Amino acid sequence: MSVHLVKHQPGVIGVLDLQGGVHEHLEHLERLGLPYKRVKQVSDFADLIGLIIPGGESTCLARLLTIFDLKDVILHHYHRGMKIWGTCAGAILLADKIVGDQSCLRLIDIAIERNSFGSQLDSFTTEARVPAVSDQTIPLIFIRAPKILSAGKDVKVLLQMDDYIAAAENDGILVTVFHPELTGCLAFHRYFGLKCGLDLAVENVSAGNQDWKNVSWMKLARIAS
């Protein structure tokens, strides 16, 4: 695999570093050669062209956004052009409607239901083709995943599975109810980089990346923010 970023491309993709699967996303961005950083406070948003809100516990993340006064900051930078990708819990925070609960950021017209597949024991793996993202089959990991039950007319459905939507987007937002960062696949991280306007030159990016070791991200846990 050969991946590089065209030089002098401005802007950074941030990963919200409050709770959840932060390091795994950072490692995938690093593998693609994308500029990245952890995001914890207001000043971290200044140069962001994209923000990933990782999987974790959505209620906890929503409370932390309030505690650290980041909700309005995220909304401000979104409206000035920053793209946002929410995975699993991140998708819940971005949804306009949450079944049985209050919504948080309300940046994409979807209705979503928490823990739609059951408990942790009902987590599963599968694979699917997502033509807008990759011409290869993509591995998918669902962990206490939500389901997107419906989408508004301005929302593009990227992946429909059985009776629910698993991935969708509008002009500024990408949501996935599964965890691309837990597989070796770089396809969704590359797709988000392109959505952010990064000029990626990519050759032979394999959707499977069979040589990837899922412990390789742990080195990033030792890097100071």
Calculate mean pLDDT across residues 90-94: 97
CA atoms of 47 and 174, how far apart (whole Å): 20
Task: Work out the pLDDT band at 151, boundaries 50, 70, 90.
Answer: very high
Say whether pLDDT at 207 is over 50.
no
Is residue 181 among the annotated active site residues? yes
**Taking residues 154-159, what's their average pLDDT?**
98
Predicted TM-score of the model (pTM): 0.88
Rounded to an integer, the average pLDDT of 7-14 is: 71
| Burial call 189-214: b when 16+ CB within 10 Å, e when fewer | bbbbbebbebebebeebebbbeebee
Most confident stretch, 130-139, 195-204, 209-218: 130-139
Instruction: State yes or no: is 179 an active-site residue.
Output: yes
Average pLDDT over residues 156-177: 97
Q: In this predicted model, which residue has the larger pLDDT, 166 or 3?
A: 166
Q: What is the pLDDT of residue 174?
A: 98
Q: Which of 24, 25, 77, 88 is catalytic?
A: 88
**Is pLDDT at 222 greater than 60 in this prediction?**
no
Mean pLDDT of the chain: 87
pLDDT tier at 206, thresholds 50, 70, 90: very low
Q: Which of 101, 110, 98, 211 is nearest to 151 (CA)?
A: 110
Q: What pLDDT was estimated at residue 74? A: 98
pLDDT at 211: 57
Residue 115 reports pLDDT greater than 90 = no
What the chain holds in terms of domains, given with CATH numbers, is 2-222 (3.40.50.880)
Q: What is the pLDDT of residue 161?
A: 96
Catalytic residue among 24, 181, 189, 196: 181
Q: Which tens digits make up the pLDDT trace of 54-87?
A: 998 999 999 999 999 999 999 999 999 999 999 9
H helices of 54-155, in order, are 58-67, 71-79, 89-94
Q: What is the pLDDT of residue 99?
A: 96
40: left (phi over 0), alpha (psi -120 to 50) or beta: alpha
Q: Name which of 18-22, 116-120, 154-158, 186-190 the model is least confident about.
A: 116-120
**Residues 23, 25, 179, 189: which is the catalytic one?**
179
